Amino acid sequence: MVRSLVITFLLITLLSCSVGTRQSTPATYRSGIPLENMLPEETPGKDFHRYVNGHWQDYGLLPADQHQYDVYDELQERANDAVLQIIERAARTRYGNGTDEQKVGDLYQSYLDFKRRDRKGFSPLKPTLKRINEINSRADFAKYLAFANKVGYNPPFNLRVDIDLEDTSSYMISTWQAGLGLPNKQYYLSDEQKYRDLRREYRAHVQSMFELAGIADAELAARKVITLEMELASHHEDKPDNRNGDRLYNKFLYHNLPQIMPYFDWKEFMTDAGLRDIDGLVVPQIDYLRGLNEMLVTSELDDWKLYLTWHAIHANANNLSRSFASQHFAFYGRKLNQKRAMKRPKLRAVDVVNNVLGDIVGKTYLKEQLTVQTSRSLQQITNNQIRALSNQVDDVDWLDGDTQDIALEKLEGLTVKLGGPQVWQDYANLTIRFDDYFGNRKRAAVFNYHQQLILLNQKVDPKRWQQLPQSVRISYLPERNELVIPAGALQPPLYDFNAEQAVNYGAIGTVIADQLIASIDGAGKSFDPRGIYRPWWLDEDQREYQKLSKQVAQQYDLLALNPEHETQLHAQALLAKAQAKAAEEALAAAKLRAENPELEPELEPELEPAELDNSDVTDGGNAPEVNETEGFEQSEETESQVQEQLFLTSENDEFPSVNEASSETNDEFPSANDEFPSANLNEQTNTDLASMQPDGASGDSSLSPESDKTQQNPQQQTVATEPQFPMVNGQQTLNQSLSDINSLAVALNAYQYALSGRTSPTVDGYTGMQRFFIGYAQRWRVLYSPERQKQIQQQEDYLPLRYRVNGAVRNMDEFYPAFDITEQDQLYLESDKRVKIW
C-alpha cells in the first residue's frame, strides 16, 4: 500500500478516498482531490502530471509484491480487502456441507494449509505423469490433449467458447494456438540479447522444476522441451486478432477436420472432449494446426511426453508444495516480470477464491459495496457520456453519412451493465474439501469446462456477465455492444460518490468515454449494432481518420522521452519563434524598402543578434528579446557570434551541429538506439527546426537547417539545429495518444452537459473545470520498480505516463483559461495545432 495515502472506508458503501491533514469540506461539496498527493509548487503549464501527482510519485512506496503500482492496483487492493473479509467470515463459521459458504471457507483454508500441502509434495500429480508415460499411440495422445484441455494444462491448442461471430444469439467453440511456457513467439525466436538471456534462464527454470519432480536427467529433458517449444513457437501467428472475423471464422465440420491435421486422431479427441454432438469447430489459425501436424510426424513421442510432463508441472506449480511455488515465482515473478516478492498468502488465497468461486463472493460484495444512489449517479454520468459522444459524432464533417448513422445507432442501442450480474453461477455440482487443495483446483477446472460446453446448447443470456463484480476494469464487448462497469471500479480515485461531480467526470468519465469511443472507432467498428462481425466504415472514412491521426502522431513525435530534455526543447522552441518573428519582420521591411526606395533611411531596421546564454536553454528561460531597430545586415563577426550563442559552434555539446560527422556520438545524450526509439528513425519526423517546437508550429523554409548554407542572404537568419534527444515514437504510441485525447474531449463535453449552464462551485480552492482536469490527471499516477521501468522504456510503444496527461490536456481549449496557460508555458500548444477527432 502506498504509505502517503491514508485510506478511510465510508459507512455503507465502503467506497474509499484519500484524505490529508487539511480540514475536509462538507460532504456535499467535497472536491474528491487528495490534496496531499499534489505538488502545488510545480507549475501546471510546465508539467501538469507532476503538479497533480508529484508528491505521490516522490514519496509513495511500491508494495514489495508489485513491480508497478497504479490506480487500478489501488482499486483492486481495496476490493480484495473487502472480499477477504467476506471469505474469512465464511471460514470462521461452520456451514452445512455443500453450501456456498462451506465451499468458500474450505477452499480458502485448503490453500493456506501449507503444512498439509508440503507433506503431499509432488504426489498429487503423479497419476497424471503416469498417464503421460503410458501414451503409446495417436489415439492416446489425442485423448490426453482432450484431458489437458479440461484441466487447463496448456496443451498445444486450447478450446474456447465465445459468442458466435455470425450469430450473436448463439455460442461457438473454437481452437486457439497455445502450448508455450514463455509469453509469445518473440521470446523464442528473437536474436536480441535480452531474449537469449531469458531463454537460458527459462531452460534453467524448467530443469529446476524437473529436479523437484524427480524427473531423470533433468538437464537433457529441459533442453528437449525448449527445443520442441521453439519449433511450436515458429508456427504461432504473430499477435492474432481474436476479433477479426474475416480471418478467424473458419468453421469445419467434424469430418473435415482431418484436412488440417491428418495425423491427429480427431475422433478420439472430440469424443473425450465431449464435442461429438456439435455441428462444427471454428479453427482461427489453420496454418498453426498444420504446422503442429508436421511436428506430430517429425518429433519423437518421448520428446512430446517430456513436453506434456513439463506443462502439467508448470500448470500446477502453485497447487503443489511451497518449493514448487517458490521456484515458479523465481522465474515468472522475478526474472520475467521484475516482481520483488510474492503476495501475502491471504491475498493469494483471495485470488484463488475469486478464480474458482467468484460469483459466490461477488454476490455478497455487490450487496455490501454498491448502493442505489451510486448506481443512479453512475448511470447519469454514463448517459451524459453517450449523449456527448453522439452529439460529437453527429457534428463531425469528415465521416460519411451512412457511417455516421451506424455509429449513432450503436450508441443508441448500447447496453450498459452496472455493478454486477442478475444471473449467478450455480456451484451445486462442484465439490470443495478443506483437506484437498490440489483436488479442489482440478475439480474446479473440470467443472468450469463443462459449464462452458453447456453454453453451446443455450442462447446467449444478456443477463450474464463475463466479469466479476469485484473486478475493477471497465470494458466494452463488441460482440454484445455492451459497456460493463463492475462495482469494483466505483472507488476513488476513479469515482467518489461524496465528491462534487467534476472530479468524477475527469476520472471515471474519461474511462467510460474511452470504452464508448471503442464502440465506434476501435474494435467496435468491425461489429454492427447487433454485434455481428461486419466492418462498417467506408474506405474514405478510414482515410480521413488516418489524416487526423497523423496530426496526433506528428505532434507526439516532438516530445522528449526524458523529462530533463523537455525544458531544453521548450527554450529552443521559444528561440525559434523569436527568430522567425524577427526574420518575418525583416523580410517585410526589406520588401517595403525595395518597393519604396525613398523611404529606406527611415524604414531600414537594425536587427541585433539574439542574446542567449547557456542557462536560458538548459534552465528553460523565456525567449530572448530581439532588438528590431536599425540595420538588418550583419558582419561575419556578428554571424559568428550568433552561431556561438545558438550553440552551433559552442563548446557546449548539448546541441550538436548538423555539420558534425554523423559517426560521432554525443556521450551525454547517447544514441536513441541504445534504449529508446530515435526521432530521426521515424519517417514521420520533420527535421525542420520549426517543426521541432513543442507547440507543433509549422516551420518556414527560411528556418530549416539548410539556411546554414545561405548565410550570404541577409534575409535569412542562422538558427539552432535540432537537439538529438530520444523522442517519443508518435506512430507506435498512436493508440494511446488517440485514446487520451478523444476520451478527454468527450468527458469534458459530458461534464458541461451535467452542469446544464450552472457554475460549478469552487471547492478546496479549485474551480469545477480545474477539478475536472485534476481528476483526469490523478488516473495516471504510477510507481515502477527500476527493473520494470527499464523494461517498459525498451518497448517501441513506450509513452511516458506524464504524456498520458500532458499530451492530452494541451489539446483541450478549456485547459488554458482554467490554469492560465500562456505561450511561455511548456505545455502551450497553438490553437490551430490542437487536434480534435470526435
Task: Note the pLDDT tens digit of each residue in 394-422.
Answer: 999 999 999 999 999 999 999 999 999 99
pLDDT digits (tens, 9 = 90+) for 503-549: 999 999 999 999 999 999 988 999 999 999 999 999 999 999 999 99
Look at the pTM and tell me if it is higher than 0.95: no
What is the set of domains in the chain, with CATH numbers?
138-316 (1.10.1380.10), 381-423+468-559+731-838 (3.40.390.10), 562-710 (no CATH)
Q: Which of 55-59, 275-279, 644-648, 733-737 has the lowest average pLDDT?
A: 644-648
Residue 569: predicted pLDDT: 82
Q: In whole angstroms, give the CA distance from residue 101 to residue 114.
A: 22
pLDDT digits (tens, 9 = 90+) for 799-815: 999 999 999 999 999 99
Q: In whole angstroms, give the CA distance from residue 807 to residue 557.
A: 11
Q: Is the pLDDT of residue 707 over 70?
A: no
Q: Is the pLDDT of residue 23 over 80?
A: no
Residue 449: predicted pLDDT: 98
Q: Is the pLDDT of residue 10 over 80?
A: no
Question: pLDDT class for 245, splitting at 50, 70, 90?
Answer: low
pLDDT digits (tens, 9 = 90+) for 737-752: 999 999 999 999 999 9
What is the per-residue DSSP string for 676-722?
A: S-BGGG-TT----GGGGSTT-PPPPGGGSGGGGGGTT-TT----PPP
Question: pLDDT class for 600, splitting at 50, 70, 90?
Answer: low
The SS3 call for residue 623 is coil
Residue 587: predicted pLDDT: 87
Mean pLDDT of the chain, nearest integer:
84
Is the Cβ–Cβ distance between 228 and 299 less than 8 Å?
yes
Mean pLDDT of 70-82: 97
Residue 17 Cα to chain centre, angstroms:
24
Residue 593: predicted pLDDT: 80
The fraction of the chain above a pLDDT of 70, given in percent, is 81
Mean pLDDT of 46-73: 94
Q: Is the pLDDT of residue 623 over 50?
A: no
Residue 87: predicted pLDDT: 98
Mean pLDDT of 221-243: 89
Residue 575: predicted pLDDT: 84
Q: Is the pLDDT of residue 281 over 80?
A: yes
Is the Cβ–Cβ distance between 172 and 163 less than 8 Å?
yes
Residue 811 Cα to chain centre, angstroms:
21
Q: In whole angstroms, give the CA distance from residue 186 to residue 237.
A: 11
Q: In whole angstroms, give the CA distance from residue 307 to residue 221.
A: 9
Residue 675: predicted pLDDT: 36
Q: Is the pLDDT of residue 701 over 60?
A: no
Q: Is the pLDDT of residue 609 over 80?
A: no
